[in-house]
Amino acid sequence: MSTAKTYHEEEVLGKAYDSKLMKRLLRYTKPYKWVVAFAVLMLVLNALFQTSLAFITKIGIDDYIMAGQKEGFESIGLAYLGIIFAIMGVMFLQIYSTMWLGQKVQDDIRMEVFSHQQRLHLGYYDKNPVGRMVTRVTNDINTLNEMFSSGVVNIIGDILMLVFFVGALFYVSWKLALITFISVPLLLVATFFFRVKARDAYRMVRLKLARLNAYVQEHLSGINIVQLFTQEERTYERFTDINKDLRSGHFRSVLYYAIFYPVVELIGAISFGLLFYYGGKMIGAETLSFGDLVLFIYLVERFFHPIRDLSEKYNVLQSSMASSERIFDLIDSEPVIINKAVTKAPDIFKGKIEFENVWFAYNNEEWVIKDLSFTVEPGEKVAIVGATGAGKTSLISLLYRFYNFQKGSIKIDNIDIRDYKLSDLRSHLGLVLQDVFIFSGDFAQNVRLRSDSITDEQIHKAIKRVGFDKFLHMYPDGLNTVVKERGATLSTGQKQLLSFARALAFNPDILILDEATSSVDTETEVLIQQALEELLKERTSIVIAHRLSTIEKADKIIVMHHGEVREIGKHDELLAQKGIYFKLYQLQYKNAMKVSA
């Protein structure tokens, strides 16, 4: 199977029931143990009331109806009615408490999963599609909610009901009880067959559903590319195939349910047939009363109800096992980028950056950066250039600790970045990417990013310094203008300016521009350059750009090629060397050079 295909596949699922997984799941109920105890108590009371209801029916038939006794019959009716209301009450309390428990546990697990997803390094997301991650936080956790709200506690209740009803059956007539239980082995065989088939069918449905989610998320995110290259029809055809595959999986699951329930009913009918036959003979022999037979029929019917319910709960249980396995697999994925037990920080942050013999590879030893060494002094403006694939963006990812490098060291103010606390390190860095991500919300929220420390005055100042205020007057609501998802209503230049304002608002000590002006029109680029000239004074900065006109005034230019530093110097010095930088410059401005010649 190709990598492209397995990228969207679910992980292989394990056992249908795993005691270790169940113990781990039940730990989430520990803060709510009194709610669990209360729900179980309600189930015990429900089982007692259901059993007593059957015995009251027997007394009413034998002692009053069959005996022609009218006096006191009203008391039996009132007792029966009272127990019905009691059953209603305990069922309400039991259902409400288990649903409340399910929602609380679901909320706890969802918060834990989302918090963990935020701590995972970017390499994890390189290998796992976003659709799969969304499925973990939504569908899989919803499945666990069903287990806690109608699974675990209710299974306990069904088992208790079975114990009560079996005891009552033997109490009334052990002979009829044994005759009735003749069909139980058939029921066990049918349940075992259903369990195996339902498990396999459910696993296939979950796998195909995750594949569908990943496909939809990917193609809706890239809908502009789909439409640009008129791939709507092919995309729809592929979606149709994936959807049909999912539908087939559901049909297979439905088929097993359609077979299982009639089989259970048939087995129950056989039990009732034997019960009527032998019960009738016992009544004729006067060894069993008519009330006892009615009581027995009621108890047998109630006996099969929890068995049918247990088979339904088994599906909930096994689906929860599958979902919990995937959720815990995510939670157990240890964050690669973590803080050390003891962290360091400089007394005064100056912004000196040192790369010393750094080696980095995304996969094994396929080196993207090779033995990289250079220094950026405090307040220095350094440009990094090179052809696509030279390792420029990877270098910035290492500085931010999005990934860990394999060899060498990166220091800021003579402290290895791995010794910094992550939040402290990144709080000193400001990054503007070429591919800007705009969140749903308004302009102010996209600049502030929900940071309470950034005031409206700082936002206005940042927006003015990057020149976005020249566009802001176009929007009647100003900073409160609602921005669509991913900034769909903004131009590329506007999104980059907004991203620039975001970086400025946080006032970083080190500013990094990753091809920040490569997709901006000339007028917008002029606005940015004017802001940068003032902004970058006395601030350490690293600029990565293919457009060499944006970096001619840099204090130092580092030329990278195939992950290595090939040239370092100022603009004029590098042109004089007539090396890689000269060739890049010549390619971009050869027409202008011809004219000047």
Position 596 pLDDT exceeds 60: no
Distance, CA of 241 to CA of 237 (rounded, Å): 6
> Over the chain, what is the mean pLDDT?
82
Position 577 pLDDT exceeds 70: yes
Distance, CA of 398 to CA of 417 (rounded, Å): 9
Give the lowest-confidence range in 279-283, 373-377, 521-525, 563-567.
521-525
Position 185 pLDDT exceeds 70: yes
Distance, CA of 224 to CA of 503 (rounded, Å): 27
What residue segments make up the domains of the chain, in order of their start? Answer: 15-331, 345-428+541-591
345-428+541-591: CATH homologous superfamily?
P-loop containing nucleotide triphosphate hydrolases (3.40.50.300)
For the chain, the farthest-separated pair of C-alpha atoms sits apart, in whole angstroms, at: 125
Residue of higher predicted confidence among 309 and 415 = 415
Query: Is 363 exposed, middle or buried (CB count within 10 Å of its CB: 0-12, 13-18, 19+)?
Result: exposed
Per-residue pLDDT at 11: 47
Q: Give the pLDDT confidence of 27-64 residue by residue, as tens digits.
A: 998 999 899 889 889 988 888 888 888 888 888 888 87
Q: Residue 210 — pLDDT band, cuts 50, 70, 90?
A: confident
Q: Residue 1 — pLDDT band, cuts 50, 70, 90?
A: very low
Q: Residue 84 — pLDDT band, cuts 50, 70, 90?
A: very high
Position 592 pLDDT exceeds 50: no
- Mean pLDDT for 109-130 is 86
- Mean pLDDT for 511-526 is 67
Position 2 pLDDT exceeds 50: no
Distance, CA of 398 to CA of 356 (rounded, Å): 13
Give the lowest-confidence range in 198-212, 351-365, 372-386, 447-461.
198-212
Q: Residue 370 — pLDDT band, cuts 50, 70, 90?
A: very high
Q: What is the CA radius of gyration of the chain?
A: 35
Q: Residue 326 — pLDDT band, cuts 50, 70, 90?
A: confident
Amino acid at 231: Q
Burial 464-475 (b: 16+ CB within 10 A, else e): ebbbbbebbeee
| Dihedrals phi, psi of 456, to nearest 5 degrees | -60, -35
Per-residue pLDDT at 15: 56
Q: Residue 524 — pLDDT band, cuts 50, 70, 90?
A: low
- Mean pLDDT for 208-218 is 82
Distance, CA of 554 to CA of 78 (rounded, Å): 94
15-331: CATH number: 1.20.1560.10
Per-residue pLDDT at 8: 47
